[in-house]
Structure 1
């Protein structure tokens, strides 16, 4: 056991010595390509009655939203993460509204100045979220795995979920207490059961969890505190993220490319803080709910 530990320590030391020589260059830059994939269970959102052909068609239309390619450009202190413009395509048909609920543009991070900038579109309005870097209390697990040619280490953290994060929407669980309440009210609403069945508020059926656990796999062979999207804070480049139903996996890394790119801060949109933006999202969602209920005659009375 001690021998194995010693061998691992020596191996890690060699990795660090080799990679530190690379990142010691004043003009060091790297580029990483990530594939992001989000899974959706249609059965949890009223899809149980749909035919397999209909489900397949819906998933095909949602593919441009659920499967994306991003490029992370990074140096020792800064990074820029954005969708691959060559592959970017707009959401189609009835999926536009969902895309509008959280269409994320470029994300800029600076670990030296603790700066975080995110270009965010929300229902046709452009925002620039200007805040400090999100804090993650990463827990190292000691687990390792190989991703391509890189030895990666596992870390986990608990993340606060954004109000507009539709990728983590889920059908509400009907726990035993809620069931008992419904049974207690059964006698009172039985005479109005037809009207109750006619009105089904979708906002009553779904929820976004306040927190989820995030798993990251990072490599110390590239000792920069960078990663896809908002993720950072580990002693090496994050090559894989598992967050809710979304997996982000690095598929290609280029260190010191001949054609270096300037890492520019995003500047478009109304500047807001992270909390202010969350309040805007929550207010809009409440407006949508009120409009929906008004169109359905005010719902249950």
Structure 2
């Protein structure tokens, strides 16, 4: 009996050690639907096509999620940025995006490092519980059996997501009230990797999220490596001005307004066009 107890304790200790050391690296690809309508008097067809190609590249990116049982870090796979089209300045702004997103499930908090308008912010806040509905539908993603889950979010509607210098409402200094819309988010997760994290701002399911659709953007996992030979440290970012998510959104909105005023066509801003890409959410 004593020998059996020793063996059992050794087995439990071994499992605990494996769980503590468990780590994975998942690669995700993103893609976003774009419905771009521009005034042909402002941009010729060749520049229009080049701009569309630039937009497509901007929203088709590769991200790496490194995770263990307690925490994860999500960031873009580093690569050289393509040069922008001559005569076109593009400004991409997202209040809920991150350059580096650290999520600590055990402590129910996150830290997001984000550079906006040349200034680095360190957004620290608690993780909000997502009200997922677990469904019975399944499908395979690679070697993994995945289950469907859905949730609803209320987001700001940004028509086409794009505004161009010369827009009548913007020129007149008029600000429309933001329109809100409820959208359904569909996620696919696998119980074969029992961690409740996932890409971008998605988490809270009983397995790793491998695919997400929100009606406009698709995020899908293309590769998973479990317990890699070379361990990757999951380090919380520390660079930037510390701020809450709510305050950060206020800062972004204020700076956006300042940029609109700065590039008002009534001012002498040269002959360049400015394309502003806003992602609501």
TM-score range, shorter chain: 0.7 to 0.9
User: Larger deviation: 282-291 or 259-268?
Assistant: 282-291
Match of 1:186 in 2: none
Residues 171, 205 of structure 1: 8 Å contact kept:
no
Greater helix share, structure number: 1
How far residue 127 of structure 1 moved from its aligned partner, in angstroms, is: 0.4
1:109 aligned onto 2:103: yes
How far residue 25 of structure 1 moved from its aligned partner, in angstroms, is: 3.2
Residues 102, 121 of structure 1: 8 Å contact kept:
no
- How do 1:225-244 residues align onto structure 2 when only pairs under 5 Å count? 225-244=196-215
State TM-score, norm by structure 2: 0.75
Match of 2:243 in 1: 272
Distance 1:34 1:119 in 2: 19
Distance 2:167 2:114 in 1: 36
Residues 36, 160 of structure 2: 8 Å contact kept:
no
1:3-38 deviations in Å (ceiling 9; x for gaps): xxxxxxxxxxxxxxxxxx799532110000000111
Residues 171, 207 of structure 1: 8 Å contact kept:
no
1:68 aligned onto 2:68: no
Greater strand share, structure number: 2
User: Larger deviation: 23-32 or 256-265?
Assistant: 23-32
Alpha carbons of structure 1 residues 171 and 74: separation in structure 2 relative to 1, 3 Å: closer
Match of 2:6 in 1: none
Match of 2:144 in 1: 150
Alpha carbons of structure 1 residues 29 and 246: separation in structure 2 relative to 1, 3 Å: same
Residues 76, 224 of structure 1: 8 Å contact kept:
yes
Q: Which of 212, 215, 225 does residue 183 from structure 2 map onto? A: 212
What is the alpha-carbon root mean square deviation over aligned residues? Answer: 3.3
Match of 1:295 in 2: 266
How far residue 217 of structure 1 moved from its aligned partner, in angstroms, is: 0.6
Residues 22, 28 of structure 1: 8 Å contact kept:
no
Distance 1:152 1:278 in 2: 34
Unaligned 5+ runs, structure 1: 1-20, 173-196
Match of 1:39 in 2: 33
1:106-162 deviations in Å (ceiling 9; x for gaps): 10001100110111111111101100113211112322111111111111112354x
Distance 1:109 1:101 in 2: 17
Distance 1:198 1:257 in 2: 51
Distance 1:64 1:231 in 2: 23
Unaligned 5+ runs, structure 2: 1-14, 269-281
Distance 2:234 2:32 in 1: 27
1:181-216 deviations in Å (ceiling 9; x for gaps): xxxxxxxxxxxxxxxx99442775895746432111
Q: Which of 78, 81, 84 does residue 71 from structure 2 map onto? A: 78
Residues 155, 215 of structure 1: 8 Å contact kept:
yes
How far residue 254 of structure 1 moved from its aligned partner, in angstroms, is: 0.5
Q: Which of 239, 249, 262 does residue 220 from structure 2 map onto? A: 249
Distance 1:241 1:22 in 2: 31
Distance 2:115 2:63 in 1: 17
- How do 1:112-131 residues align onto structure 2 when only pairs under 5 Å count? 112-131=106-125
How far residue 230 of structure 1 moved from its aligned partner, in angstroms, is: 1.6
Distance 1:102 1:133 in 2: 13
How far residue 232 of structure 1 moved from its aligned partner, in angstroms, is: 0.5
Alpha carbons of structure 1 residues 63 and 205: separation in structure 2 relative to 1, 3 Å: farther
How far residue 49 of structure 1 moved from its aligned partner, in angstroms, is: 9.2
